[in-house]
């Protein structure tokens, strides 16, 4: 298909430097408020460009963005070795209110995005449940479905340590999609993988059992990042979780991010994961797992099902396949940057624009700018090697939330 340009004619307009935060940015402290002189040209551009608001969430390749992932904080109560370096203990509750988007700002931006066509919202982090106002944020999101022909699809990605106590809030708000990250079922491995006590492992397993037992309310996916020599031997046990519950177990290939110890020989590739799944299914006497079609063209997981079992097994092969062609995702970082790609190196600060008193139309223009800047694939990188080479330029997974 040819490259579809939504906003013709192309212009040589360049966003003012303060709006586009190049990486190298590592902490919220590196941000500075925008000077009026820096933002004004962008909004002049928006006013002078007829039709800029007509399809703000469609990029120059014709991809329509209906899925918004919101990082509520870049802090986490865990220290998973493949995600975040050990150093730098952080408090469980965020304290730097001035840097994170406030609950009201989150609501305003999400409402705006829903107005522009977003129909699926996922809360992530860092760990979303450590925000002191997490329950209220979920409640606010639940309200955004009012007046829509169909309720928004609301979800969360969580490590599960604090999940149990929030389940009633999630149900009440209509949040039904829970992705639980769990990389081992063997509690002895937990401290090595997460740098956290074994007792937390039991808390996560308890949350897993609770959510799995509430099949009518929650759709559960278990995310497991496979690491060579660490948990690759547990594929079969994870697959077994799909026997009696509608759970979808998804194996993720290990991706490179700033300071996460990525190495090619630690990556367990899709072919090996699939072979391990099939070996296990065969050993259990069920022949072979059957391939399933994706639920939607934008799905990132390849799916299989063991004949007669309730759940499904997925593989997310981010390193071997770029599934960028069907990408419908946009992201907000916890400090309010719009990010158009997990591997992108640019962000557009909606927080600063809001705090500078910008109107919804002006925010929409900034969002459109970010969407139009999206590369065809991998944030402009050629392949996994270039991704690795430029790993230090990506935001950490912690800041983007997967």
**Footprint of ligand SAM (CB under 6 A):** 76, 82-83, 124-125, 127, 157-159, 181, 223, 225, 252, 254-255, 257, 260, 397-398, 401-402
Contact 116, 148 (CB under 8 A): no
Cβ-based nearer residue to ligand SAM, 128 or 142: 128
Nearer to ligand SAM, 281 or 322 (CB): 322
State the nearest-atom distance from the C-beta of 314 to ligand SAM, in Å. 12
| CB closer to ligand SAM out of 260 and 328 | 260
Structure tokens at 96: 């730097």
Q: CB 402 → ligand SAM: shortest distance, Å?
A: 3
As a three-state string, the secondary structure of the chain is CCCCCCCCCCCCCCCCHHHECCECECCHHHCCCCCHHHHHHHHHHHHHCCCCCCCCCECCCCCECCEEEEECCCCCCCCCCCCCCCCCCCCCCCCCCCCCCCHHHHHHHHHHHHHHCCCEEEEECCCHHHCCCHHHHHHHHHHCCCCCCCCCEEEEEECCCCCHHHHHHHHHHCCCEEEEECCCCCHHHHHHHHCCCHHHHHHHHHHHHHHHHCCCCCEEEEEEECECCCCHHHHHHHHHCCCCCCCEEEEECCCCCCCCCCCHHHECCHHHHHHHHHHHHHHCCCCCCEEECCCCCCCCCEEEECCCCCCEEEEECCCCCCCHHHCCEEEECCCCEEECCCCCCCCEEHHHHHHCCCCHHHHHHHHHHHHHCCCCCHHHCCCHHHHHHCHHHCCCHHHHCC
In the complex, the smallest distance separating the C-beta of residue 228 from ligand SAM, rounded to whole angstroms, is 13
Q: What is the smallest separation between the CB atom of 153 and ligand SAM, expressed in angstroms? A: 18
Q: CB 242 → ligand SAM: shortest distance, Å? A: 17
Q: How far is the CB of 255 from ligand SAM (least distance, A)?
A: 4
Please say which residue, 183 or 352, places its beta carbon nearer to ligand SAM: 183
In the complex, minimum distance from the CB of residue 321 to ligand SAM, in angstroms, rounded to a whole number: 14
Nearest approach, Cβ of residue 204 and ligand SAM (Å) = 10
Q: Which residue's Cβ has the minimum distance to ligand SAM?
A: 402
Least distance CB 177 / ligand SAM (angstroms) = 13
Q: Quick one: 72 or 113, whose CB is closer to ligand SAM?
A: 72
Nearest residue (CB) to ligand SAM, 159 versus 349: 159
Q: Residue 260 or residue 373: which is nearer to ligand SAM going by CB? A: 260
Q: Which of 313, 186, 289 is nearest to 239 (CA)?
A: 313
Distance CA 304, CA 292 (A): 5
Specify the residue, 127 or 248, whose C-beta has the smaller distance to ligand SAM: 127
CB-wise, 123 or 274, nearer to ligand SAM?
123
Residues near 151 by beta carbon (within 8 Å), at least 6 away in sequence: 145, 174
């Amino acid at each position: 298909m040819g490259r579809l340009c939504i906003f013709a004619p192309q212009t040589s307009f360049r966003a003012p430097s303060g709006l586009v935060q190049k990486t190298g940015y590592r902490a919220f402290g590196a941000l500075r408020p925008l000077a009026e002189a820096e933002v004004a040209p962008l909004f002049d551009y928006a006013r002078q460009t007829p039709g800029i608001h007509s399809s703000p969430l469609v990029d120059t390749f014709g991809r329509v963005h209906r899925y918004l992932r919101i990082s509520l904080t870049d802090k986490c109560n865990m220290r998973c070795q493949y995600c975040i370096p050990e150093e730098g203990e952080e408090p469980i509750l965020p304290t730097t209110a001035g840097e994170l988007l406030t609950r009201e700002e989150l609501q305003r931006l999400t409402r705006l995005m829903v107005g522009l066509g977003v129909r699926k919202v996922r809360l992530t982090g860092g760990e979303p449940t450590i925000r002191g106002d997490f329950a209220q944020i979920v409640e606010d999101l639940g309200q955004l479905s009012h007046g829509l022909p169909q309720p928004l699809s609301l979800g969360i990605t969580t490590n599960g340590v604090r999940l149990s106590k929030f389940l009633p809030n999630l149900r009440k708000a209509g949040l039904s999609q829970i992705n639980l990250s769990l990389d081992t079922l063997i509690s002895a491995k937990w401290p090595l993988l997460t740098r956290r006590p074994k007792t937390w492992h039991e808390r996560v397993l308890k949350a897993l059992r609770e959510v799995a037992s509430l099949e009518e309310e929650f759709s559960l996916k278990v995310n497991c990042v496979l690491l060579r020599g660490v948990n690759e031997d547990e594929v079969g046990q994870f697959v077994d979780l799909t026997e009696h519950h509608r759970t979808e177990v998804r194996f993720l290939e290990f991706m490179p991010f700033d300071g996460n110890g990525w190495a090619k020989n630690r990556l367990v590739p899709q072919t090996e994961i699939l072979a391990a799944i099939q070996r296990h299914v065969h050993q259990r006497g069920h022949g072979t797992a059957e391939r399933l079609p994706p639920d939607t063209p934008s799905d990132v997981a390849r799916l299989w099902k063991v004949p007669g079992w309730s759940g499904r097994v997925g593989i997310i092969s981010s390193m071997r396949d770029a599934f960028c062609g069907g990408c419908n995702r946009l992201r907000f970082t916890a400090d309010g940057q719009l990010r158009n790609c997990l591997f992108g190196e640019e962000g557009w600060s909606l927080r600063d624009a809001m705090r500078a008193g910008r109107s919804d139309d002006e925010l929409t223009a900034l969002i459109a700018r970010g969407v139009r800047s999206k590369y065809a694939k991998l944030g402009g990188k050629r392949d996994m090697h270039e991704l690795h080479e430029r790993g230090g330029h990506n935001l950490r997974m912690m800041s983007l939330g997967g």
